[in-house]
Amino acid sequence: MEERIAIQGRDYRFQRPADLETLWEQLDEQDFCADERLPYWVEIWPAGIFLAQWIARQKDRLSMDWCLDLGCGLGVSTCVAAEFTGRALGLDYEFAALSYARRNAGLNGCDAANWALMDWRRPGLKPGSFAFIWGADILYEARFFQPLARIFQELLAPGGIIWLSTPQRKVSEPFWNILAQNDWRISLQDTEHIAYKTYHMQVYLWEITRKTP
């Protein structure tokens, strides 16, 4: 299956194996264990489109410093970022997701994109090495909150910036309290209603930085 998305005046092509409903019907009990590996990555979500649009608009802020896309899925945000910096790293827990992300980078001529198969609960990356860290719709389960807070603390470079694109969810609210209690500054940068396929969501773009003394 192939999708086409317009991001800031450019058409991008993204291939995926199937839609989420089809793959969901193929899951067995093992996929619903404590460490769920549900195939959310096969969809292009409104929050991912909004984040990619934001990154394209912020291209002048991106530099040759490393950028990290957490839970990159099909590679939408990583591919867009790779147009403006040769140091965009898409990270995902699923090998199949990265396989498609790499293929999508080739389809769109984003050969500068980099990819890493990794569990963000146990990141094997150099501390303080990313000037930008971002993620789209990654706050949908409370079990991710503490690992994400740790990865922000460990991997963000001094003066670095985090962008999170997310729909409003009750389950996400405790995460903002975790950040606020650990000296992070949180500001809402933009919001927009994004409609794509059958998904219609109000999406918010948050910028997170360390508080300065």
**Average pLDDT for the chain:** 89
Q: Are 139 and 163 in contact (CB under 8 A)?
A: no
- The pLDDT of residue 37 is above 90: no
- The pLDDT of residue 1 is above 90: no
CB atoms inside a 10 Å sphere around CB 197: 11
What value does the mean pLDDT take over residues 36-45? 79
Confidence band, pLDDT 50/70/90 cuts, at residue 103? very high
- The pLDDT of residue 33 is above 70: no
What value does the mean pLDDT take over residues 2-6? 93
Query: Which pLDDT score, from 0 to 100, does residue 84 have?
Result: 86
Read off the pLDDT of residues 131-170 as tens digits, 9 standing for 90 and up: 999 999 999 889 989 999 999 999 999 999 999 999 988 9
- The pLDDT of residue 123 is above 70: yes
Annotated domain spans of the chain: 44-210
**Which amino acid is residue 77, in one-letter code?**
S
Backbone angles phi, psi at 194, to 5 degrees: -110, 125
More confident residue, 130 or 169: 130
Whole-model pTM?
0.91
Query: Which pLDDT score, from 0 to 100, does residue 56 have?
Result: 95
Confidence band, pLDDT 50/70/90 cuts, at residue 85? confident
Q: Provide the residue count of the chain.
A: 213
d(CA 99, CA 79): 14
Which has the closest alpha carbon to 3: 192, 139, 205, 199? 199
- The pLDDT of residue 21 is above 70: no
CATH class of 44-210: alpha beta
